[in-house]
Amino acid sequence: MGPAPARRAVLRAAALAAAVPVLPSFAAGRAVAAPRSGAGARARGAAVAAPSARAAQPFALRDVALRKGVFATKRALMLDHGRGYDVDRLLQVFRANAGLSTRGAVAPGGWEGLDGEANGNLRGHYTGHFLTMLCQAYAGTGEKAYADKISSMVGALTEVREALRRDPEVLGVPGRFGTAAENVRGSHQYVDLPSGVLGGATDVTLSTRVKPAHDADWARIIDCGNDTSRYLYLAARNADGVPRFAITTDGPGGEQGINGTAPLPLDQWSHVAVTLKGATGTLYVNGTAVAANTAMTLDPAALGTLRNHWLGRSHFAADPVFAGAFDEVNLWSRALTAAEIAGLQDAPAADSPAGAGDLVSYTFTETGGSSIADSSGHARHATLRRTWGRPSHPGFLAAYPETQFSTLESMTRGDYTVVWAPYYTAHKILRGVLDAYLHTDDTRALDLASGMCDWMYARLSQLPESTLQRMWGIFSSGEFGGIVEAICDLYAVTGKAEHLALARLFDLDKLIDACAAGDDTLDGLHANQHIPVFTGLLRLYDETGERRYLTAAKNFWGMVVPTRMYGIGGTSTGEFFKAPGVIAGALSDTNAETCCAYNLLKLSRALFCHDQDPAYMDYYERALYNQILGSKQDKADAEKPLVTYFIGLLPGHVRDYTPKAGTTCCEGTGMESATKYQDSVYFRTADDSALYVNLYSASTLTWKQRNITVTQTTDYPREQGTTLTVRGRGAAFDLRLRVPAWAGSGFSVTVNGRKTEADPKPGSYFSISRTWRDGDTVRVSVPFRLRVEKTPDKPDVQALFYGPVHLVARDSAKTYLRFGLFRNAALSGDLLPTLTPVAGTPLHYTLDGVRLAPFFEGTQDPTHAYFQRSEPKVVFGTTDSGVANPQAPDGTTLLDDIWSAAPFTDKNALVARARAVVDAWVAAGRLSAADGTKVVSTARRATYVA
C-alpha cells in the first residue's frame, strides 16, 4: 500500500516543483519543460515508445496485417463505414460551439448532437472515437482515404480551437436583402446592445427580419431588462409556439403581452414588428397585424434605466439562445403606421418610407469581427458575445461550453442532465488527436493534444486535493475514462513535467488504496467509469515506478475476472458491478456493457506487458472472440457502426445494434475494436529474444527488429489450430505459443513436420528455442472440446463452449432452455457427440431441435447465452439405464460425479469409475443397490465415442 493521500499530495507537488521551478498564474498559462530527447516525427501507425518497465512489448498495428478470416471480414464492414461517412457531420457540434459555419452538416444524433439524451451533454466524444478509428484503419491498411479524413478533421479542430481563443466573430450569410448574421445553434452567441437603444421612449416600434433555425420555445429575438422582474422582450416562440411580445415591471405574472397566431416557419425569413402607441400594442408578422392589446399601461419609459439589452439572449437562464439569422433590427421612437410596416416587406428599412430606425439600426453587413455597426447616426454599436464568456486557457477544445467543467467543480452529486462526464469527453478528443499525430505525424494534432493537457493542468492544478477527490468520485458527471493513459502517452512524446503532473491529478485515492490493499469495494460501482482508471494507473507506474499503481491494477483485474465475468467475457449489469460470484442472479437485458469488455481487454493487454501470465491472454481470447466480435452486426451500414451497447443475457434476448439512436460510448469503442483486432496477436520481449503468439488469428507479423516475418495461416476458430511460417534468415529467438487454459489433451506442435517432444501444459506458454531458417513452419494443433461453465451462484445455469467459442441457442423462448449433455459423452469427457452438426455450417449444431451457433455471429436472432442443465436419467452412450439421476445436497448429480474423472483411457476405465461412484452413493443412501446395479450394467453395455 502506498503513502497516505496527504503524503502523496506533498510528494506530487514536490516532484513538480523540482521539474518546473516557476509556474505563471492560471489565466496566464503554464511554463513547460523542454521536450524529451528524441521526441518528434513518427512513422505511420507507430505507437508511443514502449516504456522500459514493460518486459513484453506489443507491435504497432501497421506491423501486423490481418489475413482472410473472421476478423478481416468483420473489420471490412467497419472500414467501409469509416471510408464513407461524412466527417463534417461529426464536426458540426464543434463548429457550432465555436460559432463557425457548420456547412449545412447535420449532427449524427443520439448522444452526438444538441437534441440527444441529457441535452447532448456528451457531444464531442464520438468524434474522438471516430478519429481514433480512422487512425487505426489507416495504420492497418495504409489507405490514403483515411489519412485524408484524419487531416481534414485535424484541420477543422484546429480552426475550432483558434475560434474559441478569440472573441466570437460575426458569421455573414445571405440575407433577405443582402448580408445577414447567423448565430449557429449551439454557439451560445448573442448580441450585446449598448444602453440607450430604447431611448426612454413611450411610443416605440421594434422591427426585425429573422430566420429561425430551431423550434425551441422562449428563444428571444430581443430582451431588454435588469433581471427576471423588469423587462420587455420579443420571443420567436412562446409555449404555444407562436411569437410573443411582453413587457413587465413585476415578473412573469405581471406581463402585458401580445401573442401571435401562427409559428414563424423555420429556415425562412419572417418580418416581425411590434408597435406601442398609448394603450395599444400591435404585433405584425410579414406586414400584417396579427394581434393587438388595447389595455397596455406599460411602455419602455416605465422600465427606467435597464442594465442589459440583448439580441438572442433571455434573462431567464433556462431559456435557449436564439438560433438563426438576423437580417435587420431597427427601433424607432414612434409607432410606425400599418402602411410603413407593410413597406418594410419589400426593401431594407433605409430604403422604405419608414427610413432607418432613429434609435438604432443594425443591418448586419459585417462578415467578421465581433462589432456590429449602428447606422442610426447615434453610434450605438453592438458587440457579439458568448453567454459563457471566454476559455480560461487557449488550449481549450470541446464541443460545448467550458461551463461543463466549471460546474463540475462545485457539484456534490452526479446529474448528467447538468454535467455529463466532461473529462470523459475530453479523453476521447485527446486520444483522437494524439492518435492522429502518432499515425500521420501531423504536428497540428500534437499541438491540439498538448494544448488540451496544458489547459487541463492549468485548471485542475489550482483545485484543492479534496475537490479533486470529490469530483472523481461522482457517478457519471465525474467520469474521466482512460484520460490518464492518454496523458501519459502524450508525456512520452512531449516530456513536459506538467503533463505527468496532470496525469496524477486524476488519482482517485479511495479506489486505488482499496484495490492496492486487496479490499474488494466494487459492488455497486459504475463499471466502465472505473475499469479504464486502472489502465491509466499502469501507465503511471511505467512513468513513476510507484508500485501501488501496479498492485492496484493487478488486484482490480482479479476482482473482476472471473468472479464478475460472464461467459462471453463482459461484465456489469445496467452498467454497474454486482457482488463477486453473482452471475446467474445478475442476468438481465442490460448485461455486459460493450465498453466494459473493450476496457478490460486494454487492461489485460497492459498487465501482460508487466506480467506474462497467460491468464491475461486467456481472458483476452475469450472476450475478443466472443463479446467483441459478437457486438458488431454482420451487416454494412453507411450511417451507423451497428455495435451493441448492452448485451442482454436473459433467455431469448435480441441484440440491439443501434442503441439509443446511435453514437453511444459503446458504438464509439466498438468502432475502435473493429479496427484493431490485430493489436495483441503478437508480443515481443524487450530484448527481442522471444516472440509471444497470444492469439491464433490469420495474420502476418513484420518483426523489423529481427528482419523477419511470421505468417499465420488459419481459419481459427473454425479451424482447430494454425500454421506459422517464418520468413528471413538466421534469427535466433524463442517462439512462445500460448496453450489455452481450456485446451485438453491433444494440443501438439510440430516444427517442419517433426513433433516436439515436450508435453504442452494448458494455461501456459510452450516455448521453441532455435535459430530460425527461411521457410520454417510450425504447426499448432488445438483440439476443441465441448464443455460447460457453471455459474457460481446457480450451478445448473450454465454456458456452453466449444474450444474458445461460446455457443448460444437460437430460440425465442423467454425461459431457460433445459439441456442434457451426458447422454452421448465421449470417453475423453467431450460432450460434443451429444450435439448434431449442421452440414455445411461450421460451429453450428442442433440439440433437441434447437440451433446452437457461435456468439460471435452478429445476427438479430433471439439467443440463449445460458441454459439450465437437466440430466433427469442416467444415460451412457445413448443407452438409457431407466434410473433417475440422483442428486447430492450440494447439487452434484451421480453423472456429474462419474464424468468428473474424464478423460478415460478406455471403456473399462469408465465402467470402473461408474462402479466406484455407485458404491459410494449407495453407501451414502442416495441410490438403491438395485438401481446401482442397473447403472453399472448400462455403463458396461453402452458404446462410446472415443
**What confidence tens digit (pLDDT) does each residue in 570-607 have?**
999 999 999 999 999 999 999 999 999 999 999 999 99
Q: Is the pLDDT of residue 40 over 50?
A: no
Report the C-alpha gap between 742 and 305 in whole angstroms. 81
Q: What is the pLDDT of residue 453?
A: 98
Residue with cell 469495494: 521
* Strand, helix or coil for residue 224: strand
Closest C-alpha among 522, 534, 633, 616 to residue 571: 522
Average pLDDT of 533-540? 98
CB distance 401 to 100 below 8 Å: no
DSSP 445: H
Burial of residue 294 (CB within 10 Å: 0-12, 13-18, 19+) is exposed
Mean pLDDT value across the chain:
94
CB distance 799 to 806 below 8 Å: yes
Report the C-alpha gap between 718 and 51 in whole angstroms. 36
CB distance 209 to 176 below 8 Å: yes
Rg (CA), the chain: 34
First to last CA, the chain: 52
Burial of residue 493 (CB within 10 Å: 0-12, 13-18, 19+) is buried
Report the C-alpha gap between 903 and 894 in whole angstroms. 17
Cell of 340: 410603413
What contacts 695, CB < 8 A, 6 or more positions away?
617, 620, 621, 624, 680, 681, 738
Q: What is the pLDDT of residue 50?
A: 66
Long-range contacts formed by 412-419: CB under 8 A, 24+ apart: 412/470, 412/474, 413/474, 413/475, 414/474, 414/475, 414/476, 414/477, 414/478, 415/477, 416/118, 416/121, 416/476, 416/477, 417/118, 417/119, 417/121, 418/121, 418/477, 419/121, 419/477
Average pLDDT of 849-870? 98
Which class is domain 51-159+406-673?
A: mainly alpha
Q: What is the pLDDT of residue 116?
A: 85
CB distance 106 to 177 below 8 Å: no
Rounded alpha-carbon distances, angstroms, from residue 379 to 222, 227, 363, 385, 509? 19, 26, 13, 18, 58
Average pLDDT of 167-183? 95
What's the pLDDT tens digit per position in 724-771? 999 998 899 999 999 999 998 889 999 999 999 888 999 999 999 999
Give ∠ CA 498-499-505 in degrees, rounded to 5.
85
The three state secondary structure string of 39-96 is CCCCCCCCCCCCCCCCCEEECCHHHEEECCCHHHHHHHHHHHHHHHCCHHHHHHHHHH
Give ∠ CA 553-559-565 in degrees, rounded to 5.
115
On the CB side of 656, CA atoms within 13 Å amount to 17
Q: What are phi and psi of 203, to 5 degrees?
A: -95, 140
Q: What is the pLDDT of residue 26?
A: 35
The DSSP element (H or E) to which 468 belongs, if any, is helix 465-472
Q: What is the pLDDT of residue 661?
A: 84
Cell of 323: 438560433
Q: Are strands 794-802 and 280-285 parallel, antiparallel or unpaired?
A: unpaired
Q: What is the pLDDT of residue 758?
A: 81
Q: Is the pLDDT of residue 55 over 70?
A: yes
- Residue spans of the domains in the chain: they are 51-159+406-673, 171-386, 871-946
Q: Is the pLDDT of residue 35 over 60?
A: no
Average pLDDT of 628-640? 96
Average pLDDT of 532-550? 97
What's the pLDDT tens digit per position in 782-812? 999 999 999 999 999 999 999 999 999 999 9
Report the C-alpha gap between 370 and 343 in whole angstroms. 30
Report the C-alpha gap between 228 and 235 in whole angstroms. 15
pTM: 0.93
DSSP 120: G
Closest C-alpha among 311, 298, 229 to residue 257: 298
Strand partners, 220: 235
Q: Is the pLDDT of residue 829 over 90?
A: yes
Q: Provide the residue type at 420 as one letter.
A: W
Q: Is the pLDDT of residue 17 over 60?
A: no
Q: Is the peptide bond before 562 cis (omega within 30 degrees of 0)?
A: yes
Average pLDDT of 662-671? 96
DSSP 795: E
Architecture of the domain made up of 171-386:
Sandwich (2.60)
Q: Is the pLDDT of residue 30 over 70?
A: no
CB distance 127 to 112 below 8 Å: yes
Q: What is the pLDDT of residue 73?
A: 97
**What ranges make up the beta strands (E) of 714-793?**
721-727, 731-739, 748-751, 754-755, 764-772, 777-781, 786-791
* Strand, helix or coil for residue 884: strand
Of residues 166 and 12, more confidently modeled: 166
Burial of residue 819 (CB within 10 Å: 0-12, 13-18, 19+) is buried
State the pLDDT confidence band at 274, using cuts at 50, 70 and 90: very high
CB distance 871 to 822 below 8 Å: yes
Cell of 864: 440463449
What is the greatest pairwise CA distance in the chain? Answer: 115
CB distance 445 to 128 below 8 Å: no
DSSP-based helix, strand, coil % in the chain, nearest 5? 30, 20, 45
State the pLDDT confidence band at 662, using cuts at 50, 70 and 90: confident
Rounded alpha-carbon distances, angstroms, from residue 398 to 126, 437, 909? 12, 18, 69
Burial of residue 760 (CB within 10 Å: 0-12, 13-18, 19+) is buried
Q: Provide the residue type at 250 as one letter.
A: D
CB atoms within 10 A of CB 435: 26
Report the C-alpha gap between 506 and 500 in whole angstroms. 11
